[in-house]
Structures are given as C-alpha cells and as structure tokens.
Amino acid sequence: MLNVPSQSFPAPSSQQRVAPSGRNKVSLKPGRSLMDWIRFSKSGRDLTGLRGRLIEVTEEELRKHNTRADCWTCIRGMVYNVSPYMEYHPGGEDELMRAAGTDGTDLFDQVHRWVNYESMLKECLVGRMAVKASTSIKAQLSTDKQTSPVNGLPPAFPTLVLKPPSSAALPKPLPPPTPKDTRPRFDWFQTEAMVNVVVYTKRKIPNSGCAVVDLQGGTLRVEVVLGKLSYLLHLRLSQEVEECIAMQTMSTVGKVQVSLRKATRAKWDRLGEPLQSHDSFLRRKDRGVFYRECTLASKMDVTHDTRLFGLRLPHGTHMQVPVGRHVYLRAPIQGSEVVKPYTPVDSTLMSQSLASTEREHANVFLMIKIYPDGALTPHLDALNIGDSLSISGPEGPFTSRLLCEVTHLFLLAAGTGFTPMARLIRLSLLDLAPLRKAKLLFFNRKERDILWRSELDTLAGREERFEVEYVLSEPSDGWSGHRGRIEATMLSDFLSSPEGSKRLVCVCGPAAFTVLAQGMVCELGFSEEEIHAFQG
C-alpha cells in the first residue's frame, strides 16, 4: 500500500484508530478484483444454490442463512446470497457478515448507496421478501377510509364508531402552537418569452453548488441540496423550451431561480405535470443517485499513468461541483454497470479568480490514475473524444464552513488523494482572508508519480502563504527531498503552528494511509473537529 508502514499503528484496540469517511478497503487475494467478479458471475455457475428458481423468503427463513458459507441478506425487499461474493468484496468479509441473515439496507446505504447492487448481484438473487399478513392488514387499515358499501360490497374491515362525551362537559382546548414551516416551496412566473421557476429554501445557502438543474426532452429536474436534505422539483413541462438554462442563486435570502426560454412566445396556462418525487423533501441518503449523459471533450496526460479527463455536460444541465465534493462515473462493463467515485479538479491548479472557474459549469475535469487491471479505468482510457459517459451530481459531506476562520490549513495527500486538495488550495488562497499558511505534504512512490509538480512548485514560489513538501517511498539516488513513509516525527514537524492558531488538517489517500494519518494527527493533540478525511 502506498506510503503505509508495515507495522500496525495505532494498535487495533487504540481509541485513536479513527475510521475515514467511507469504508475501509482490505487487501484481496489475487484474482479477486471487480473485473474477476464480473467474469465469475457471468460464468453460468449457480450462485444461489436454487438452480435458477426465485423464491419468496420469510423473515424466519432469512435468519437461518447467517454464516459465511451460507449468507443471505436483504436489500430493499430483495434477498441475495452473498456468500459467492465474500472474497471479492473490497470492504472484506466481516463487513458483509454484519448484514448476514438480516435486512442490510441501512448498512448498505451508510457506505455505498451509489453502488448498483442490482447489476453487481443479479446472479445472486434468491427472491423477494414475503410480506407478513399483519403488515398487509395494518396497511389496509391505515388507507381504508370507507365507511359505506362500495359497488354493493361492505368495507373490508368493520368500522368502530365511538360516541364521544357531550361537548359541553369538555373544556375548550387551546389551539396548538403553529410550528415554523421550514420546508422549501416553489413558485413560477412568466413573460411572453421566459419561464422562471423559483425555489424558496427558507435558509441561507452557498453562492453556488447547492442546486443542480437538468432539462432533458421536456422534463425539468431541479435538485437543491440543503445539508443532509434534498429538495426536488420534477416536472414534464407543458410546452417546449430551448435547451439553454440560466440559474441564479441568492444566498442570503435562500432563493434559487431557474430561467428557461420558451420555444414559442406564448402564455402558459400551467407549468407542467408533476413526475415521480416532485416537490419532495428527503434525506439525501434516501434519494436515488441521478445520472446524466456527458461527452468526453478532452484527455491529457498528467503523468505516465494519470490522465486529466474533461467531460462536457449536456446543454440542458447546469451543475457546479462544490470544493471537496465528488461525483460518480457509471459505465457498462461486460454486461454489468460499474460505478466509481472521483473528485473533480479544475483545468489548472490556480485560476485568476474563483469566478472564472465557477463560470465553467459546462465542464467537469477529473484526474484519474489508469490501472491496467482495473474495472473502470481501462474503459475510460480507451474512450475517444465525443464518446459518452454517465456522471452523477455532487456527493460528499465536505462543506466550506469547515474553513471558517482557519489560519493554518494542513493537507496530507497520497497519490491521487491529491485531487480534493487541488481545489482546496485554490479556494483557501483566493477566498480565505484569515489564512496565514496552507501546507501540502504529498506522498508518492517515485518522482515521476507526483501530480502537477511543476504547478505546485510555481505556486509555492510566488505565494508566500503556500508550501509544499514531497515524500517518496521509492526515491532515486539523486532525490534530495523526504524519503520513507508516513510517520509521527515527520508529521510533528509539518503540523507545527503558533499558539492560538485555528487549524484544520485534511487527509486523503488509500484507506490504510488515511487511518494511519488520522491516528497520528490525533496523537499529536489535534481534536476530531480539526481533522477531515476525504473519501479516498
């Protein structure tokens, strides 16, 4: 593993063993990669033990299958035999066993809501969970409001009518307090040429990045992300509009306005017909990941094995990915849908201003290392300019509020864990007035692996608030910089700051690197609030 010492630090029982955001990956046996699983699942073998039959599974039956050799779990009402997948699971067998013989939907959503499990496990499908009779009766009782016969038939269940006591004998109740309505709402207005859709979030919002708009084939989808919640508008417009979209965010009043140009100048009687989940306000983890088709606009070499991919969004999409957030790429590979997370970067390390890059909402740039035996990256590397690829909206917990009043920003990155740091460096130097120092400690194997080294060195030479140090685990004889792997003494020197500083340490890299770095930083006296781990 890149820059990870052979000893276990902190000890497994230590309270400093802080888990990174996202799941920990384990070392898999040779021949147990995602591509190996795809080939194995397509081999025609019976992976359920039922010889192709689908059955209805009761809770009692599900509980019986709770061992490694016979492990069933339920995800959103469908039951899978995951025993054949045990050795291929990047999170390890123990993580899968947490859901053995039970409903694993919540556990699944906690760490990989974005994974297309239906495609990955379709050959392992046992069947559907049986619905209890009592559950059906309760559902019927809750929805059956009829008290009179319908079509000559009596109600399905008897209705009990209780005679209340005389109203004169009861004290007049006080009216209940009216709770503050914090749920977003929307409205629309028009001119002869334009239609304007406005979302009132009823709270302060960022200047950009909280809303994603998609206009596809007359269907308008507007999602506004508000912390852990998501508000969605989903409509089939009543008349045609042009593909161009203008979006304006008024952060202090919490308003998002989407402006559409009518294809024909005319007055509309209505905005459109509501579609699935229209006007809904849900937890983000309960909302499915939405993809749109983009095209490959550019591809450039960054190092010998890393490319910078420029993806052009559809004309009807308006999306800005906030700093520190990632997106998911989805592509069909040998009959299965493969999905991977990547953190966008800008086209260069430093732009002239924040506004100049925020205007480039038509493109998303991804810096991706190509693994010859990987499931997705060889497919990406083989794409030609103009080929299509599915991309999600922004995901991830990072918020720029973490940077509020920070005076000393420390960045620990290993390999392509540098990608979230790239935009964070730009944001901190251009937009954080209190910032006195931003320092990057960048771990790689060899000198040729260092991403954007010339740009980092140029920036450090002209910006006195920025410093970069490189650490190589396999340096050449002529290397004069740091050598070795991450260790506490190295971090102690790097993380020094004056007394009274407001500090933030950001970490990103392979999961083992992230766990080690977090533990070491904690032992050096940093609190949990002063550390943020990006998904590696």
Vertex 83: Cα angle to 78 and 87 (nearest 5): 125
Burial class from Cβ neighbours inside 10 Å (0-12, 13-18, 19+) for residue 465 reads middle
pLDDT at 16 over 90: no
| Separation in Å, CA 460 to CA 93, 435, 442 | 44, 15, 14
Q: Which of 52, 128, 125, 118 is nearest to 335 (CA)?
A: 118
pLDDT of residue 218: 94
- Work out the pLDDT band at 94, boundaries 50, 70, 90: confident
User: Which H or E run contains 112?
Assistant: helix 105-112
Torsion angle, alpha carbons of 309, 310, 313, 315, to 10: -150
pLDDT of residue 173: 57
C-alpha to C-alpha distance for 417 and 395, rounded to whole angstroms: 16
Place of tokens 């999905």: 339
- Work out the pLDDT band at 147, boundaries 50, 70, 90: very low
> Among residues of the chain, what percentage have pLDDT more than 70?
82
Is the model more confident about 10 or about 336?
336
Measured from the Cβ of residue 108, the count of other Cβ atoms closer than 10 Å reads 17
Least confident of 116-120, 126-130, 343-347, 495-499: 116-120
Q: Under 8 Å CB-to-CB from 89, ≥6 apart: which residues?
A: 82, 95, 96
pLDDT of residue 301: 96
pLDDT of residue 441: 98
Is the model more confident about 21 or about 459?
459
pLDDT at 143 over 60: no
Highest mean pLDDT among 4-18, 85-99, 119-133, 496-510: 496-510
Kindly list the strands in the beta sheet with 466-472, ordered across the sheet, starting from the edge strand earlier in the chain. 482-483, 466-472, 437-444, 408-414, 503-508, 531-533
C-alpha to C-alpha distance for 408 and 496, rounded to whole angstroms: 9
Highest mean pLDDT among 162-166, 168-172, 222-226: 222-226
pLDDT at 368 over 90: yes
| Separation in Å, CA 504 to CA 4, 319, 345, 501, 532 | 22, 28, 21, 10, 8
pLDDT of residue 48: 87
Contact 237, 197 (CB under 8 A): no
Q: Under 8 Å CB-to-CB from 328, ≥6 apart: which residues?
A: 114, 289, 291, 339, 340, 341, 342, 391, 392, 395
Q: What is the mean pLDDT of residues 352-366?
A: 62
Place of tokens 């308008």: 220
pLDDT of residue 182: 87
Measured from the Cβ of residue 199, the count of other Cβ atoms closer than 10 Å reads 23
Tens digits of residue pLDDT in 166-221: 444 444 555 665 566 789 999 999 999 999 999 999 998 888 889 999 999 999 99
- Work out the pLDDT band at 49, boundaries 50, 70, 90: confident
- Kindly report the pTM of this predicted structure: 0.73
Tens digits of residue pLDDT in 434-469: 999 999 999 999 999 999 999 999 999 999 999 999
The beta-carbon contacts of 464-468 under 8 Å, at least 24 apart in sequence, are 465/429, 465/435, 465/436, 465/437, 465/438, 466/425, 466/429, 466/437, 466/438, 466/439, 466/440, 467/437, 467/438, 467/439, 467/440, 468/439, 468/440, 468/442
Q: Under 8 Å CB-to-CB from 145, ≥6 apart: which residues?
A: none
pLDDT of residue 90: 80
Burial class from Cβ neighbours inside 10 Å (0-12, 13-18, 19+) for residue 343 reads buried
What are the backbone dihedrals phi and psi of residue 91, each rounded to the nearest 5 degrees, phi first?
A: -85, -5
Tokens of 458: 């140029």
C-alpha to C-alpha distance for 403 and 405, rounded to whole angstroms: 6
Contact 208, 322 (CB under 8 A): yes
pLDDT at 266 over 90: yes
pLDDT at 146 over 80: no
